[in-house]
Chain A
Amino acid sequence: MKIETIKSWILVLLLAPALALAANDDADWTNKLKDQYFAGKSIEESSDVIEIDAPYRAEDPALVPIKIVSKVPQTRDSYIKKILVLVDKNPFPFVGEFEFTPESGKADLAMRIRVNTYSNIRAIAEMNDGRLIMTKKFVKASGGCSAPIGADLDAAMQRLGKMKFRLDDGAKIGEPTQAQLLISHPNITGMQMDQVTRFVKKSHFIKEMRISFNDKPILTAKTDIAISADPNFRFYFVPDKAGVLKAEVADTSCESPTSRDACTAGNSFSETYTLNP
């Protein structure tokens, strides 16, 4: 056998497992998640409407910054109505469902999430005309869902429920304005429990969030344990005049980290920000 032939065989042998792995990346989506969330619907795969920006390798699997970047403006006639975010291989893949309006201006959304293992992060946009467009991004991370609750748990518990808005780039009437919402909450996954020492922590996380400007909704979300401790969101809205940006969030506590059958309602928190551009 020629050296070149041997080399190419070695290459094939080396690549085979990698190729097999790559092919399996979509298995959870194809076999389970697609039907769970979009049974009978057709989804176009494209990065022309939204794209995911995320680090290929996560520094901290419990805190992976991701950004959904929209490629189309939010107009009255055509807008992104909803974006579902999933991490295929998380024990509970649902990260959140985020609803936008024409008042959002831009359906961009940055947040920090937990990624438990090498997995695709998937975002499916639903347009106001019902069209579904999916994009995905592969991220290498490990252990994000069972990872330590936070560096300083007591500090996190003490300021639980505290929130603040930041509008660092300023605001302009009639133009998409970026706002950041910081929520202090440990967002406990419930996967940190240890039966041996009987230290059992139920999951305890932000389950819904309503952000409005002058009472008009701009971002409404259902969220879950894949959102990192101290949830942090950046989003857009178009202020039509001076007014009040308001966030109302509610948390819940569930018996199991991966089932939502037995949960108890928690507390509600709210925060406002007065905008005088």
Chain B
Amino acid sequence: MRLLFALILSLASGSMSAAPVLSVTEVAPGVYVHLGVHELPDTKNHGAIANIGFIVGERCVAVIDTGGNPRQGKSLKLAIEHTTSKPVCYVINTHVHPDHIYGNKAFKAPGVQFVGHQKLARAMATRGLYYIDKAADQLDVKLTADDIIPPDIAVKDHLDLDLGGRTLKLTAHRAAHTDNDLTVYDERTDTLWISDLLFIEHLPVIDGSLKGWLAELKTLESHAYKTVIPGHGPIVTDWPKSMQPEKAYLEMLLTEIRDMIKQGKYMEEAVETVGYSARGQWRLFDEFHRKNVTTAFAELEWEN
């Protein structure tokens, strides 16, 4: 009996066994990225789908997004420990979505400051309960309110973070992918960690403002960057070329939905007809497109 009990215990702990070291690639000197997968968050991938990583300075390390579940956060922490002996000083959350913030707790320690958009804390608070419920149902991940860690430092417009000999320039954007998007620019390597303002291959997902997103892309497009790190998809070295499919998709939504509203068509009709010409060009189109049309329609019907 005791043996059986021990066996059950060991089986149970098997699923909880120590997190593996997360695979990361150095995409620019001192800039490390783990590339995610183009999948819906589910009970198999447990929400670990986004590009996440870290940047190493002379003094300390900034984590940029922590992963889709607490275990991935631990794996990322191990990857950092394998890469450098420097301590983590900042954890930057690029926005509120679960695949970017659920690993936060792994980094909670004295000396670590969490950084986010001015509206990130509110978004975490308003979505927190919903997210915790969903994590159990959809990701098979047990979360508590302790896993949702709001920023210690809120970025209103711009903020410089000094990692020792390396300055990260943070920009808080207007409502675009979400209403709390933050990008990180590493001066030393001319790298923009743009996160979910850029989707490649994976259909862009609108959870903020279609018009705002297009406006932000317009601004970002006028800059040159050596390397750009999207939230989903491969590393970009030909900015702004790789961004064009996303821009074209969003512009198409804007044009077609505006046209439907002008014609007096309803959301239900727009969901059935708008944007299907892009279907073959994107992964997860069927999973997110109708939701995008719904969100964009609700925004655009208030124009004028």
Query: Nearest chain-A residue to B206 (Cβ)?
Result: A151
Among A126-134, A190-198, A207-215, the one that faces the other chain is A190-198
- Residues of B with C-beta under 8 A to A155: 175, 209, 299, 302
Report the bound CA distance from A81 to B290 in whole Å: 35
Q: A168-B264, A193-B129, A234-B266 are in contact. Are A152 and B208 (CB under 8 A)?
A: yes
The answer on a CB contact under 8 Å between B207 and A151 is: yes
Query: Nearest chain-B residue to A65 (Cβ)?
Result: B268
The answer on a CB contact under 8 Å between B268 and A197 is: no
Interface residues on A, range: 35 or more
- Residues of A with C-beta under 8 A to B228: none
- Chain A residues 56-85 with CB under 8 Å of chain B are 59-60, 63, 65, 67
The answer on a CB contact under 8 Å between B179 and A151 is: yes
- Residues of B with C-beta under 8 A to A229: 298
- Residues of A with C-beta under 8 A to B301: 182, 230, 232
The answer on a CB contact under 8 Å between B175 and A192 is: no
Q: A59-B291, A154-B179 are in contact. Are A192 and B209 (CB under 8 A)?
A: no
Set B128, B137, B264, B271: member contacting A59, Cβ < 8 A = B271
Report the bound CA distance from A229 to B126 in whole Å: 14
Q: Closest CB-CB distance, B202 to chain A, in whole Å?
A: 18
- B148 at the A interface (CB under 8 A): yes
Q: A59-B291, A152-B299, A182-B301 are in contact. Are A196 and B128 (CB under 8 A)?
A: yes
Report the bound CA distance from A154 to B126 in whole Å: 13
- A110 at the B interface (CB under 8 A): yes
Set B137, B145, B146: member contacting A194, Cβ < 8 A = B145
- Residues of A with C-beta under 8 A to B125: 192-194, 197, 199
The answer on a CB contact under 8 Å between A197 and B128 is: yes
Q: Closest CB-CB distance, A237 to chain B, in whole Å?
A: 17
- Chain B residues 88-142 with CB under 8 Å of chain A are 119, 121-130, 133-134, 137
- A166 at the B interface (CB under 8 A): yes
Query: Nearest chain-B residue to A117 (Cβ)?
Result: B137
Q: Closest CB-CB distance, A46 to chain B, in whole Å?
A: 25
The answer on a CB contact under 8 Å between A197 and B121 is: yes
Contact mask for chain B residues 31-74; partner A; CB cutoff 8 A; 1 contact, 0 none: 00000000000000000000000000000000000000000000
The answer on a CB contact under 8 Å between A143 and B133 is: yes
- A261 at the B interface (CB under 8 A): no
- Residues of A with C-beta under 8 A to B128: 194, 196-197
Report the bound CA distance from A227 to B99 in whole Å: 29
Q: A152-B175, A155-B175, A168-B264 are in contact. Are A192 and B127 (CB under 8 A)?
A: yes
Report the bound CA distance from A184 to B301 in whole Å: 10
Q: Closest CB-CB distance, A174 to chain B, in whole Å?
A: 22
Q: List 20 A-B contacts (CB under 8 A).
A: A112-B267, A142-B137, A143-B133, A146-B129, A146-B130, A148-B126, A149-B126, A150-B298, A151-B178, A151-B206, A153-B179, A155-B302, A159-B302, A169-B264, A180-B266, A182-B301, A194-B148, A196-B128, A230-B298, A230-B301
Q: A149-B126, A196-B148, A230-B298 are in contact. List 19 more A-B contacts (CB 8 A).
A: A59-B290, A65-B268, A143-B130, A146-B129, A148-B126, A148-B127, A151-B175, A151-B208, A152-B179, A154-B119, A155-B209, A162-B302, A191-B129, A193-B125, A194-B129, A196-B146, A232-B267, A232-B301, A234-B266
* Residues of A that sit less than 8 Å from B by CB: 59-60, 63, 65, 67, 110, 112, 142-143, 146-155, 159, 162, 166, 168-169, 180, 182, 184, 191-197, 199, 201, 229-230, 232, 234
